[in-house]
Structure 1
Amino acid sequence: MCGTEGRLLITRAQFEFTPAEKGAQTEIVKSEHDQTIDHVENFLDCVRTRKRPNGDVYIGHRSAQASHLGNLAYLQKRRIKFDPVREEIQPL
């Protein structure tokens, strides 16, 4: 994630924050354990209990969609207007 104060990268192993200022030091915070284990445990629990997983297909779709739309706008060097109900890029 990028913002006015810097960039935040979140992985299953660590968090990295890089301030926006040139030459600023990246701050890295390591996770206490491999976050993959949490995902597997949640999935297996959902198989047993039939509960909805923490990160279901809809959440994954919407999360990836935001990145894809940002990439499209960047590559086409233009703003885009997106209709989330129809899931279509609309003319401006």
Structure 2
Amino acid sequence: LPVPGGSDSAATLEAVYRRVGTVDFGFVPGRGVFAHPMGPRAGAASLQQAWAAIAAGVPVDGHARQHPELRAALSAFAPAQHAAGE
């Protein structure tokens, strides 16, 4: 079971999924949960929201418009394009 590591969060989940190419992987988002700007509960929710978007084939960025926890995770943890709101 592949378990990529290194500062994972809702902002990196889609890229990891695409890179691995299957749902059979472990995801260890310590910082993405415990350093979430809205707290750990919101960090966990942001992961669930990101995965729901991926499973539905919906862009994670677009899904974040209706989910404040996911929006905050993308803003806090994603590369510059998310932080800038692109």
TM-score with structure 1 setting the length: 0.28
TM-score with structure 2 setting the length: 0.30
* Structure showing greater Rg: 1
Q: Which has the higher helix share?
A: 2
